[in-house]
Structure 1
Amino acid sequence: MSSALFPELEVERATLQALFELDGMGLAQADPATGRLLRVNRELAAMLGRTEEELVGRSFLDFTHPEDRERNWDGFQRMASGERHNLRLEKRFLRPDGATVWVLMSVNLMRDEGGQPARTLAVAMDISERRRVEQALAQNRERLELALSAAHLGLWEWSFATGALWASDEVLEITGLTRRELERDADCWRRLVHPEDVEMIWALDEAARRGGTFHAEYRLLRPDGTQRWVANHARTVCDAAGQPLRMVGTLADVSARKQDEAALRQAHDALEARVQERTAELALANTQLANEVVERRATEAQVRELLGQLVNTEEEERRRLARELHDSLGQHLTALTLGLKAVQEDPALPAALRERLAQLREVTRRLDGDVDRLSYELRPAVLDDLGLNEALRELAGAWAEDSGVPVDIHTRGLRGQRFGAAQEITVYRVVQEALNNVRKHAAATRVGLIVEHRDGELRAIVEDDGRGMEAELWHPVAAPPGQRLGLRGMAERARLAGGRLEVETEPGRGTTVYLSIPLSTEED
């Protein structure tokens, strides 16, 4: 059928194509049984540093980091088997140059109309930058630990007896205070604490009172107006009686780490928002595609119904024409033959005229035979009167006599059986057209015909030992012009009856036509 008859098919293809052309998102369809990539978009190919052609046809495991393959394949199989609805994970791919690409991947299983796994649809987002930020954060933490171990931190000591506060140069640099300011007013640093973090001061005083430890991160507003995040870790030193004497601690500037964490949170939130947005778009697209498929199937059902009505109308018209030829024209030809015979037998006629009448009688006889043959080909009466078994045997015998090629016919489960009119005429017409194709194109010396009723189906096989053809040319669109309409008509008849038509052929090895038509319960 021409795609112009079904514009919704084009919309379906265009929608799917538009999804695969979205920027910033890798898309791939894969075989749920093998993981073989069936289709990828250029964004995914660019992520992996390859072309689309290099990816399609190969398993996604071929490009997965070796350390991730077993875990990825286990999750993929569990999804394909129905243990889970989808698969969401962070994984590593390898580029051709050996570089690693981190992606956040969401994989969903798509099923066919029978509920069986058909293919998977994967959405991939490049999170390499986020991973680099995480790695940078880890490195910062490592540096912090190294700094602590090497005492490269700001140190401070608070005497409870005098209230004096000593601080190292690093503490002064972090806070922006001068030593003179700190010596004049030991509590001046407290006024630098961000108003939203003042509870940290209360926690520090409580730890000092209890003789415990203190660990906190908070913000300082430096005298120059800038803000610093600091990490303050301290412990209380007590006397032999357990009374607090002083508190000793370290102060670290952790502003860079806080900025990294904020950037990481921002990147993660943005990534989550984009994934949710794309997921919503895909869900909407899937819904639209499902609606379009329903509409397309409804349209196809209507078309099949109309075509079925056309076929039925054609058969009824064939029956009417056959009856008219046989009952009307046939009777007239019979009357004409008898009249010519009566005139010819008149003894008063000259011999030359009697000879001419004999010729006319022969022409009339041939014409009567042609009318009978044409009436039979239009609608064989034996099909309506005796059923499919006898009609096929009569067809095979007449065809063999006319073509000079013997037909070896075998039937099973047909004798004494009647089937639906549509099923019987479909089998008859397909076999008739297959035999016509053998006579026109095959140059065969033997033909086999098998028709059987088995497993709730009518099955017919027509095979010959003729010249055959290339397998890809048997399709109704690709077939040679002389066979195209015949094959198309056979395939269309089979489809309208709910069946299927298959052809096996090879140059020099003959051709075999397979037809199968399901029967309803009543017909079984």
Structure 2
Amino acid sequence: MENDDPQLQFETPEARMALFDFAFDHAPIGIALVDTSACIIRGNAAFAALVGRPLDEVTGMSFAQFTHSEDLEADLILFQDVLDGRRDGYSVEKRYVRPDGELVHVLIHIAAMRDEAGDVIRLISQIQNITHHKEYERQLAERAAQLELALEAVRGGFWYMDVGTRKFETSERLAQFIAGPTAARLDLENYLKRINVDDGASADLTPLLAGDVDQAVAEYRLETVAGERWMRCDRRLLRDGNGAPFRIVGMAIDFTEEHNRFVDLERTSQRDALTGLLNRRGLTASFSKLTAAHGYSVLAVDLDGFKQINDLHGHSAGDAVLVETARRLLSCVRGADLVCRTGGDEFVLVVEGTDDAGKAVAERVVAKMRAPVRLNQSCVEVRASVGGLWRNAGANLEQLVSGADKLLYEAKARGKDGFVFALSGD
């Protein structure tokens, strides 16, 4: 809704239109104005790139001319619903067909623009290229048939900030995305209040205000009526005729689902699929975060007799032994310690504390693994050999694991089912 306070308005209609033009033309997603006959009135460069045609060629074309024939009917039905007043807008996924035959998957949001009488005079479309997401979904589906990904509609809006006066204002759309359908435009104070305190540095505009950079992208969490959302904000600096910073324009887009997928993938990529323990990558990442104020022990663990279990009972029995081994290893350490399956029947443990703490864990591991492992109709027995190396200061993880491995071989040479522990020099 409009606000009559002159302090919350753009200076002139021309300036306001220039701001809209800039946001329209430079938006990172495709934007197009469509008339009631489904013809393109205006598009931006991102939209032209999506359909693979020059802007002047796209203008005047019907969207039916570059929409895949299998997707056209559903789109036209929804489009007609808007014209008939049955809906104010809609979202739909469909495919564009470029002149060379290449298909581009897009997610489109259509909103009606009405005159004072309530009649639709044109429609505005926001178009996101989701081709790479579709390929990503296909690849995941091949690996896990039950996994289904759905893209949340792109939401957000733009804001501007006058460099000289520090006047800040969001667009109506962004304000409503943040605070609800009746929200007024937000000033800087109220916008910053919505940003997660841990992400304040990411949203800092200082380099842009100082003119040190002309463009920057920030990612931060923003509290909205839909809860906390991850926003990706593309900020651009406009300069006056003398090259001095004049205005900053930002386009904030909700990418929460995309962010969460990458977080989940990063998390799962650091875990062993069978046992749930850390894998090598996860161990490296977790080890770098250890404080190790009192040192730490690195234990290399190898199962004795595991090959015979695989040979006699099959790999499913071997997998069951590995899962049980993981459970026992976890029971031997504290929550802050690290347990990793490096491959096969080989494991690495990192225990924070003195060398006595490391020795105690090594003893527990050997003792725990002496208990039979129950399978469906039988029990099998394995043992564990452990090589342990303690260090009281920072060291390269690979060097520590290598040293622990040498001690593990020594433990096996001594008859297995035991451990060898040593102290590493600074």
| TM class by smaller structure | 0.3 to 0.5
Which structure shows the bigger proportion of residues in strand conformation? 2
Question: Could you say which structure has the larger radius of gyration?
Answer: 1
**Larger helix fraction of residues:** 1
